[in-house]
Amino acid sequence: MDYADLLIKLGLSAILGFAIGLERELKRKPLGLKTCLVISIISCLLTIVSIKAAYNLPHTDHMNMDPLRLAAQIVSGIGFLGAGVILRRGNDSIAGLTTAAMIWGASGIGIAVGAGFYIEAIFGMCFLMISVELIPLTMKFIGPRSFRQRDIAVKLVVRNMDNIPIVIEEIKEMDIKVKNMKLKTLENGSHYLHLKLSIDQKRHTADVYYALQHLESVQQTEVESM
> Quick one: pLDDT at residue 96?
77
If you ran DSSP here, which 8-state letter would residue 148 be given? G
pLDDT at 59 over 60: no
Q: Could you state, in order of their start, the residue ranges of all structural domains in the chain?
A: 3-142, 148-225
> Quick one: pLDDT at residue 91?
53
Whether 74 contacts 3, CB under 8 Å: no
> Quick one: pLDDT at residue 97?
79
- Alpha helices for the chain (secondary structure H): 3-26, 33-55, 69-77, 79-85, 97-114, 118-129, 135-142, 164-173, 205-213
Q: What is the pLDDT of residues 181-212, one digit of tens each?
A: 888 888 888 889 898 888 888 888 888 889 88
b/e burial code for range 120-147 (CB count within 10 A of at least 16 → b):
ebbebbeebbeebeeeeeeeeeeeeeee
- Give the C-alpha separation, 105 to 109, whole Å: 6
> Quick one: pLDDT at residue 95?
72
Taking residues 158-171, report their average pLDDT: 88
CATH code assigned to 148-225: 3.30.70.260
Q: What is the pLDDT of residues 75-88, one digit of tens each?
A: 777 877 777 777 76
Phi, psi of 154, deg, nearest 5: -125, 135
If phi > 0 it is left, if psi is from -120 to 50 it is alpha, else beta; for residue 175 that is: left
pLDDT at 40 over 60: yes
